[in-house]
Chains A and B, each alone.
Chain A
């Protein structure tokens, strides 16, 4: 029941497109009662959702389906992530293949966190003098 109610958008028109399980209005309460009746009469989750779509259209689904044009909604963020990751990776690789500047070759990688603090402190103490 929870699953079905969390995937249908309440159509009372008041709440900001809340799912039926969250919207506290009387319409949502009625929908939940109806869903319970349908569950008791043996209908499957799929059937119940489909019956709502048939009566109210696609907009009763709280999120777009993962098919057809709607798939782009789901795909875009993940595509963006892979694209971003790929761009970052390429950028980092290109950077590594650049000739190193003379400064880098004389310094060791920062192995010791404490030395970072000591350096900061030394600098401050010298400023104080």
Chain B
């Protein structure tokens, strides 16, 4: 009964979508605000229906209602409640419903935000967002039914994959989805701007914070996924260039390029056509990524089962890209720039150069991800494209990007003079060089590591200079103490300085990647109980090994003491889990982070004689990756903060009717 109700809710939602799309367009063409409003109210109705349908599924999951095939596939009666709930996005159908839920929530917020602005654009924004919702509803009704029933009803479910029974299942998928789905809103605004030919900076200002918001969640989502892989999969690494990982990276790259080039359009009225293209590319990649993950076209550790759902995505992408390109070409004239780029060496041109790098990396990732399909299509033979390809191809461009991040703020808008450039480059260049020299003296001779370090140091010095120069200038003119001046500096210019903080995070992340990739130590040992082994500066003593059982699984737990010289600095407790309803054992990695490196230990298993087989890694500065990520998130939050002054001014105008504001 409940399942049917859920399905009817989705059917009703589809009809509402159609209604909203039609009435919004008609209302816009006939300039009937009442029709447009009706379309918007339909969206609210949609929200209720989708929330209702989602609640039904969530309730079924929580109560282990195995009448629902989805519940039987992804949960079991003994699964802890939090994981029963995360199963909502654990399988194909549920995750599609989750996508839809987030999309309709975003749509509602976008409509609420724009009740009294951008009124010419909104009907079309509604149409495009409702259209995307409709697409997902069609898939839910015909290709991936979360409300499919099972008969006879099984007594027990198949439970959630043990690899997913982990805290990160709670936050990583939602964060990613909020990021992915969020790109639909800028897309809808871009299309609305194209259709209504309102191609000034209005639509860009409307979506700037949306894009940054999605970007933030996409960034954090990707980093969470990497961290999860690091602590769970037990191969000492955090990124495998798996197709699904790549699927999340590609929209991120396009969105980052967009975030940068948008600044030029806002400041100079240039690159209008290019920004349109970037927004379309970002959203298309988001959908394409969703397609890759679900269609089974490429095999991946993440994939849901093979499914005909791929065809639906292909149809949607063809329609979406077709419509976009049609209107893009139609409005070519209106997308001409208001100003011209004056110099080869200017901030504008360096932003464009940055875009080239981002898109080339994106193309490289795309190429590597789909090449196995292409190879089989054109030559009949399968190939593997994995880390060696991606690392080799992408590395030069990644280095170029980090270098650009350091150089770009030093180059003036419009036209930089050579004298200016030389002066600004010299200090960071020398300091970064000196830093790299120190590193070399300390024994780091790998040239690539030194190069990564040089680039990151360049960025860090540049950012430091920006903050100190700005604070000093402020202190000189406004008579404020340093901390207050710094606070006001950032507060008055959140985009600039928030951006610098984000770049700082990126630089640290980069150092973390280089150090942990090129200077990783690893060792496999078989060691009898009470014996020790060494790796790097550490000695590990194997103290204990236990075999434990619980209703779900059998597990081996080892205990090792860590010594640095004579001093004990910690304990590691790695485990190996053998689940009853899964063939693959999982590993609980034991990690002891030190300030400069991680000690990473895996229990492979016991030998017959009771000795322990271990794999141990030392990952230098890998913590910088996660810490850098946190700094990126903080920087993004700073940029996202509303301008308090503007808010106060606006409310003053509203309160006093504008008269008192004349002073």
Interface on A for B, CB 8 Å cutoff? 6-7, 9, 14-19, 22-24, 29, 57-64, 68-70, 73-74, 76-78, 80-81, 84-85, 88, 91-92, 95-96, 98, 100-101, 104, 107, 109-114, 116-118, 120-121, 124-125
Contacts and interface: CB of A to CB of B under 8 A. Distances in A.
Contacts of A68: 379
Interface string B311-327: 00000000000000000
B359 A80 contact: yes
B138 interface: no
A113 B364 CA distance: 37
A7 B388 contact: yes
Contacts of B397: 77, 81
A115 B402 CA distance: 27
Contact of B379 (A15, A69, A74, A118): A69
A123 B512 CA distance: 41
B363 A17 contact: no
Nearest to A99: B340
A14 B602 contact: no
Given A88-B356, A92-B344, A63 B384 contact: yes
B382 to A, nearest CB: 5
A121 B378 contact: no
B484 to A, nearest CB: 14
Contacts of B388: 6-7, 19, 62-63
A121 B387 contact: no
Interface string B442-472: 0000000000000000000000000001100
B5 to A, nearest CB: 39
Interface of B: 233-237, 240-242, 245, 300-301, 339-344, 349, 352-353, 356, 359-361, 363-364, 367-368, 371, 375, 378-379, 381-389, 392-394, 397, 412-417, 419-420, 424, 469-470, 473-474, 477-478, 492-493, 524, 584, 602, 604, 615
Contacts of B300: 16
- Tell me if A's interface is mostly helix, strand, loop or mixed: helix
A74 B477 contact: no
Contact of B477 (A17, A22, A118): A118
A80 B379 CA distance: 23
Given A63-B389, A64-B389, A84 B359 contact: yes
Contacts, number: 172
Given A110-B412, A121-B473, A18 B235 contact: yes
Contacts of A101: 339-340
A78 B363 CA distance: 10
A22 B360 contact: no
Residue among A15, A59, A91, A92 with max Cβ neighbours from chain B (10 Å):
A92
Nearest to A87: B356
A118 B414 contact: no
Contacts of A70: 375, 383
Contacts of B584: 14
A77 B386 contact: no
Contacts of B363: 76-77, 80
A81 B362 CA distance: 11
A15 B240 contact: yes
Given A16-B240, A64-B371, A76-B367, A113 B424 contact: yes
A23 B386 CA distance: 13
B650 to A, nearest CB: 15
Given A23-B235, A59-B382, A113 B344 contact: no
Nearest to A112: B420
Contacts of A117: 469-470, 473-474
Given A109-B416, A110-B412, A110-B414, A24 B393 contact: no
Given A9-B386, A73-B368, 8 more contacts: A58-B383, A58-B384, A59-B383, A78-B393, A95-B341, A111-B412, A118-B477, A125-B478
Given A16-B242, A77-B367, A95-B342, A63 B234 contact: no
Contacts of A62: 384, 386-389
A94 to B, nearest CB: 9
Contact of A73 (B235, B349, B385, B412): B385
